[in-house]
Amino acid sequence: MNVNTLIELMGAILPKECIITDKNSLRVYECDGLSAYRQIPLMVVLPGSTEQVQSIMRLCNEHAVPIVSRGGGTSLSGGALPHKDGIVLSLAKMNKVLEIDERSLIARVQPGMRNLAISEAVKPYGLYYAPDPSSQIACTIGGNVAENAGGVHCLKYGLTIHNVVSVQVVSSDGELMELGGSGFESPGLDLLALMVGSEGMLGIVTEVTVKLLPIPEVAKVLMGVFDSVEKAGNSVAVIITSGIIPAGIEMMDNLAIRAAEGFVQAGYPVNAAAVLLCELDGVQEEVDYQLSQVSKILHECGAVETRVARDEKERALFWSGRKAAFPAVGRISPDYYCIDGTIPRKFLGKVLSEINGLSESYGLRVANVFHAGDGNLHPLILYDANIPGELEKTEELGSRILQLCIQVGGTITGEHGVGIEKIGEMCIQFTDEEREHFHLIRECFDPKRILNPGKAIPTLARCAEHNLMHVHNGELPFPELERF
């Protein structure tokens, strides 16, 4: 469709200032958190109401114009990367709280509301919204729903899927639907489960009802220092099987520790092989008791030292290093590439040592930070995009790490989504029939495939090409694998 005609038709739906078409302003939207991929869209629209979203969808559906929805633009997998022939639908203007029901412990908010802003809005009621991705100051709840975002505290409190009660969705043909229920369940097939984590391919979320939790009376963090990554990894399993579910358990390896310490001076021991941060929350007496138990376990598992943050200030300091691990790594390397695989915890030691091996053979440094409690790894590959061929080498190393995750029974993405980034690895994790069913599901919601086309689910042709590249000596990689 002619761009000018599209602009004209869009002008009948939205006020002028909500339609962006000039090149300079469009550049703001050319990428998300995965900045290695860039694409200028035809236009960006910023609707302010559900009705406007419906009209936009009807228009785009009629003319088969691709739509990429966008929240805070913090996706690390290119989920919000624009389509060259499509529009970007930004939900940034729809950022209000619609209702807080402190009795039923739920809040209904618009999709453009920032994750952290929800917790701030319900704080006066002694409540908060639990999932806390590292980007929580900037990422939006709509984006969290699209990616099934996790965070440091999802070990105890779950992912987005566990904390969203219902969503209002505009379908690809502009119909309004309510998925999920006002209570703890809804009739029929659980379409909410499909919508969460669907990477903007099944509909546009225009309202989200989230579950709220009481703010814990107290939260304390304990740092365990280890001379080996394996010991640190093993201690995580021991803590969890002892019956304690910490609010979060995070781990960093030596390179990540040094980078973080250089950046925020959190008091991390720079010579340690690994540092474990374990947060416990609840009522005072319970937390005190569990702290002593965890401390004992860590020592039994070979911790060289354990330290409990003395006050809220020190607790924030302990966390600041972990939370700033990505930018900290950015200081010691011109570029870095963040990987997001999940593995069964018991293979933590094995996988880390194999990552080290790969790191050496590729000649690229890898810093490891991870949500140890969930077995969710975030290896950060350090590289220099200005060196010709280094990005390609980095991507190949990333792909090898993800294949390693599949090999031990894990997955290619724990919380960042597939987007454009891991579309090739989807060919390894799933069979042709399984991927075909993803396409069939998508067509149930979006027969014209206008929603975020080209993302998350590779076509058969694409996988044929991908697998061709990865076949060595006529064999598929890891033929013995169960692809779980």
Partner 1 sequence: MSDSEVILQQRVVDAGNKKQQLAIIGGMTKDFYGRAVVGETLDIKNHQGIVDYDPTELVLTAKAGTPMVEVNRLLEENNQMLGFEPPYFGKNATLGGTIACGLSGPARPFRGSVRDFVLGVKILTGSGHVLKFGGRVMKNVAGFDVSRLMVGAMGTLGVILEVSIKVLPKPASQITISIHQPNVNLAIQEMNRLHGKPWPISAMSWYQDRVWIRLSGTDVGVTNAYQHIGGDLEEAGDQFWEDSREQSLPFFRDESPLLRVSCKAGVPGFDFQNSALDQDKSINEALIEWAGGVRWFKQSEAREANFPERLQEKAKELKGHMMWFRGGNRQGEVFMPLPSAVLTIQKNLKRAFDPQGILNVGRLYASF
Enumerate residues 136-155 that contact partner 1 by CB under 8 A.
147-148, 150, 154-155
Position 432, amino acid: D
- Among 68-76, 83-91, 173-181, 330-338, which window interacts with partner 1 (CB under 8 A)? 173-181
Report the distance separating Cα 310 and Cα 176, nearest Å. Answer: 51
Would you say 60 or 406 has its CB closer to partner 1? 406
In the complex with partner 1, the residue whose CB is nearer, 450 or 457, is 457
Taking the complex as a whole, how short is the minimal distance between the CB of residue 1 and partner 1, in angstroms?
26
CB 388 within 8 A of CB 378: no
Q: Residue 12, interface with partner 1 (CB under 8 A)?
A: no
* Gap between the Cα atoms of 204 and 50, Å rounded: 10
Among the listed ranges 302-310, 360-368, 393-401, 423-431, the one in contact with partner 1 (CB under 8 A) is 423-431
Contact with partner 1 (CB under 8 A) among 171, 254, 356, 467:
171
Residue 412 interacts with partner 1 (CB under 8 A)? yes
- The amino acid occupying position 232 is A
The tokens of 431 are what? Answer: 């069979």
Residue 346 within binding range of partner 1, rule CB under 8 A = yes
> How do strand 274-282 and strand 248-253 relate by DSSP bridges?
antiparallel
Residues 6+ apart with CB under 8 A from 238: 297, 300, 301
249 binds partner 1 (CB under 8 A): no
Site for partner 1 contains 292 (CB under 8 A): no
Q: Give the residue, chosen from 413, 427, 451, 452, that forms a contact with partner 1 under the rule CB under 8 A.
A: 413
Of the candidates 177, 317, 332, 481, which one interacts with partner 1 according to CB under 8 A?
Answer: 177
How far, CA to CA in Å, does 345 sit from each of 237, 359, 398, 426, 472?
A: 7, 21, 20, 22, 29
What residue spans of 276-371 are helical by DSSP H?
Answer: 284-300, 312-323, 325-332, 348-362
Q: Is 3 in the site for partner 1 (CB under 8 A)?
A: no
By DSSP bridging, strand 43-45 and strand 164-170 are: unpaired
Q: Give the shortest CB-371-to-partner 1 separation in angstroms.
A: 8
Q: Which two structure tokens, joined as six digits, stand for 280? A: 């416990």
CB of 449 to partner 1, least distance (A): 14
Q: Which residues contact 448 (CB under 8 A, 6 or more apart)?
A: 61, 64, 172
Distance (Å) of CA 144 to CA 72, 138, 153, 408: 10, 11, 14, 27
Q: Exactly one of 374, 452, 453, 454 binds partner 1 (CB under 8 A); which one?
A: 374
Least distance CB 133 / partner 1 (angstroms):
12
Q: In this complex, which beta carbon is closest to partner 1, that of residue 96 or of residue 439?
A: 439
Query: What are the Cα distances from residue 295, in Å, to 202, 235, 348?
Result: 46, 10, 21
Decide if residue 98 touches partner 1 (CB under 8 A).
no
Q: Which of 283, 316, 385, 464 binds partner 1 (CB under 8 A)?
A: 283
Among 12, 189, 461, 468, contact with partner 1 (rule: CB under 8 A):
189
String of contacts with partner 1 for each residue 100-139, x by CB under 8 A: -xxxxxx------------------xxx------------
Should residue 440 be labelled a site residue for partner 1 when binding is judged by CB under 8 A? yes
Q: C-beta of 417: minimal distance to partner 1 in Å? A: 6
- Sequence-distant (6+) residues with CB within 8 A of 441 are 194, 202
By CB under 8 A, name the one of 86, 321, 379, 410 that touches partner 1.
Answer: 410
